[in-house]
Amino acid sequence: MSSEGRIEEFELIARVFAPLAAGQPFAKGLIDDAAVISPEMGHDLVVTTDTLSAGIHFRDDDPPETVAARALAANVSDLAAMGAMPVGYTLAIAAPAGLSIEWYEAFANRLAAEQERYGIGLLGGDTTSMHGGPSLTITAIGQVPQGRAILRSTGREGDDLWVTGTIGDAALGLDILESRLKPAAAPDGESLTARFVSPVARIGVVGLLQRHATSAIDVSDGLLSDIGHLAAASAVAAMVDQDQVPVSPAARRLLEQPGMGGRSLWRRLVTGGDDYEVVFTAATADRAAIEADAQSLDFPVSRIGRLVAKGGEIADDLVVVRDASGAIVHIDGPHGYRHFAD
């Protein structure tokens, strides 16, 4: 983030950001102040906004590529969890005046690659200077058949609880990057750090969600925290089976290493966040159909528990974890990242 290669806003848009809108007819080549979107007939649009700021959501010396991948994944993940396919996004960057052209170019190059992954393009944006930052706000827009957006508030008592992919890799990857976990203790460290620096939103699960999900949420704050958000919005509680939470081989090896503190490490997995997996609920009658549906995906889909009535055996808890014997596993401390809490 040097002051070399300083660049004016109009040049920045033309040289760095306009290529991201090429081939995206909605964006009008970024010439106008707004983009025009023609939704497909019979579709609703879904809109989500997320901000990432230096020093809070990423470190000042994080590579711009990582910032780009994480910013887009966070937003596309919100859309996927609502059963929506992404259409495009706007990008607002407020950055210190000295942020280098090289930073912008690396950032934009990575956005170009991620856009292609998701089949979307840049719709428009705003590049401004600020004291502090950079701070990036992406607003992603997706499309869903009319009336078919999947909410977090519509889970029902008795529904199964499912999750895509594996949980906790990104948190362990961050621990390695920040030297809380030593690479010697994590021989497959690269596969873990990759989940943190190059997260991929699960748009592949959108069809399955549309066919089966009664409610859904993406896992960004931490598995237990996000299940808690879903349970609270649905006015139920959730039981999670510890042994069913899907863990990658690399994370599994760490959990089983002597002296790694398996229990506190497991707590880290399910509370660390940045997974960008999708938790969803579905009727028990759909189990076989979901498992069959999941065969065509390039990531696993695991049944990890169920929604239950509030109160009774689980008292005031929104989310209870049980071990293989059925005993309650106590997870101390907050279940996920809360802004403003530090």
Is residue 173 within 8 A of residue 104, CB to CB? The reply is: no
SS3 219: strand
Q: Which of 22, 66, 100, 87 is nearest to 174 (CA)?
A: 66
Label residue 16 exposed, middle or buried (CB < 10 Å: 0-12, 13-18, 19+).
buried
Residue closer to its own copies (CB basis): 43 or 287: 43
Minimum distance, C-beta of residue 252 to its own copies, in the bound complex (Å): 30
Minimum distance, C-beta of residue 154 to its own copies, in the bound complex (Å): 10
Minimum distance, C-beta of residue 96 to its own copies, in the bound complex (Å): 9
Residue closer to its own copies (CB basis): 89 or 266: 89
Please report, as ranges, the residues that interact with its own copies according to CB under 8 A.
6-10, 12, 28, 31-39, 44-51, 53-57, 78-79, 81-82, 84, 90-94, 97, 123-133, 135, 137, 139, 141-142, 144, 146, 149, 151-153, 217-218, 233, 338-342
Minimum distance, C-beta of residue 47 to its own copies, in the bound complex (Å): 5
Residue closer to its own copies (CB basis): 55 or 119: 55
CA-CA-CA-CA dihedral for 35, 40, 46, 48, to nearest 10: -30
Q: Which residues contact 193 (CB under 8 A, 6 or more apart)?
A: 173, 174, 176, 177
Residue closer to its own copies (CB basis): 131 or 285: 131
Q: Which residues contact 326 (CB under 8 A, 6 or more apart)?
A: none
Q: How far apart are CA 238 and CA 310, in angstroms?
A: 8
Minimum distance, C-beta of residue 21 to its own copies, in the bound complex (Å): 12
Residue closer to its own copies (CB basis): 152 or 212: 152
